[in-house]
Amino acid sequence: MTMSFPAGSSGNSLKWAIVLALLIDVPFFAMILFSGKPETAMLLTAILPIGISALIVYASYTAGKMEYTLGDKEFRLNFPLSPLRISYSRIRGAGKVETTLGMRLFGGSLPGSHWGRFATSNLGSLQVYATKYKGEFVLLEMSDGERILISPLEPDAFLGALSGRTTVAAPTLIDVEEPRFDRRLAAAQIAVVTLAWLALVAFVVSIYPNLPEIIPVHFGFDGVPNRWGSKVEMLWLLGLATIFPAMNAFFAIKFGKYNKGLTTFLSVVFLLAVGLFILVVNQILSA
């Protein structure tokens, strides 16, 4: 007899997915709105963020309705975008664990949906098919050594039904010490990118009152202006640049202890991005 167990999920996941979708779509549509007569290429470009936001909302919606299914011969995990089937003969151990998902090594995360290989706070790296990032999970240990983390709403009921399908032992739990968070390195990464962004803000604020009302806002590959607009668009450019210090701080704080090399590399990328915005503003002034 087939038995299904709903995944534990937050009722706010879909709401956050919609908010995230709006954060992606609104800037694109704002640029189209303030560009005057939108070009066909610009309208076609808007299809990309619409498609991405639709995928985010769909994945979060389906994750909220996801079930772990115990069939007669196999365990089925109908995870959005990444379904999984596991023969009972492969499952060697199963049990409840408390952990927190850390850095994603390979996979994806959306509101209410996490899948792929993640570093965890105390169990090392695991293959994850879950609808939450911390709390009580079920750990499945495979005969080939692979470990899979899932999040049924009622772990005890799920484990009881699983033991009726196949003989499983308690999983081998080896606590892995969580890496140390280097506060000085994170602070330095955040400070450098934030100071560069503040320099950009100070530069724009100092020149903005003396700018003409109409300025070049788009350039061709030859560096010649091909579209003009209100100087207010420079403030939109400044607002868009805010995302770089914000994302840099988020990655440095959340993932710095798991991979210092990656977060340092990202800080350099964000710093170069701010520098690129400074060059864009300078090109507008010299046009």
The pLDDT value given to residue 232: 78
Q: pLDDT per position in the chain (287 positions), as tens?
A: 677 777 766 566 666 667 777 777 777 776 666 655 555 555 566 677 777 777 777 777 766 667 788 887 888 877 665 677 888 888 888 888 888 887 666 666 666 777 778 878 778 788 888 878 788 888 888 888 888 888 888 888 888 888 877 766 555 555 545 556 677 878 888 888 888 888 888 888 887 787 777 776 666 555 566 667 677 777 777 777 788 788 878 877 776 665 566 567 667 777 777 777 777 776 666 65
The pLDDT value given to residue 176: 46
The pLDDT value given to residue 38: 54
The pLDDT value given to residue 172: 57
Write the DSSP string, the chain.
Answer: --EEEEBP--TTHHHHHHHHHHHHHHHHHHHHHHTSS--HHHHHHTHHHHHHHHHHHHHHHHHHT-EEEE-SSEEEE--TT--EEEEGGGEEEEEEEEEEEEEEEEEEEETTEEEEEEEESSS-EEEEEES-SEEEEEEEEETTS-EEEE-BSSHHHHHHHHHHHS--BPP-----PPPPP-HHHHHHHHHHHHHHHHHHHHHHHHHGGGS-SEEEEEE-TTS-EEEEEETHHHHHHHHHHTHHHHHHHHHHHHHTTT-HHHHHHHHHHHHHHHHHHHHHHHHHHH-
